[in-house]
Chains A and B, each alone.
Chain A
Amino acid sequence: GQNIDQPTEMTATEGAIVQINCTYQTSGFNGLFWYQQHAGEAPTFLSYNVLDGLEEKGRFSSFLSRSKGYSYLLLKELQMKDSASYLCAPMDSNYQLIWGAGTKLIIKP
């Protein structure tokens, strides 16, 4: 079957760094997306990894290891507005995104 595993909730301090881990099992693989979703809003795109390694985009970086079925999202210089849910979504062989429940990130001053 297809499965996503992320921590349900994480807490971090404003200005700090946090890493959100994701392990996945899919039928085939066509890349992995990270989305941010604020409460009551639709997801917004953060990153896409299809090859192994680290992709850096401003304060956010995403890492992928296809052999391990593992990805992480790294958020630096945390701001209060980063409080949201972060969704790891791998894409299977049918180009369908597989969604988990996401990780709720709480930022404290």
Chain B
Amino acid sequence: GAVVSQHPSWVICKSGTSVKIECRSLDFQATTMFWYRQFPKQSLMLMATSNEGSKATYEQGVEKDKFLINHASLTLSTLTVTSAHPEDSSFYICSASVGRDFHEQYFGPGTRLTVT
């Protein structure tokens, strides 16, 4: 149980275009979903936290207008990288949590974005 999927698993796009990444909890309803970015050999960096039906809470330094997050349901969240640039190339990982007292996060497999 507690499986999280991401789509696509990898994507290559041209500079200036937008890319949408989907994150789905397959067998549970996620109270909260998280979006992370990870550069090679660096730690996970939390970008934003989202709860279903409400606006995402972005971490300091993350541009809200560039990284659009939509949490349409308890099983789906999307991250859209708008007007992508080569420096946005990274490994994007989503996670979902359940319950109120045990906040384990279940991670999706990640999406590798390359902007050319």
Contact = CB atoms under 8 A, between A and B. Distances in A.
Given A41-B110, A42-B93, A42-B110, A101 B43 contact: yes
Contacts of B110: 40-42
Interface in B25-44: 41-44
B105 interface: yes
Contacts of A11: none
Interface string A71-109: 000000000000000010001000111011110000000
Interface of B: 41-46, 49, 91, 93, 95, 102-110, 112
Contacts of B43: 87, 99-102
A91 B112 CA distance: 26
Contact of B104 (A42, A45, A99): A45
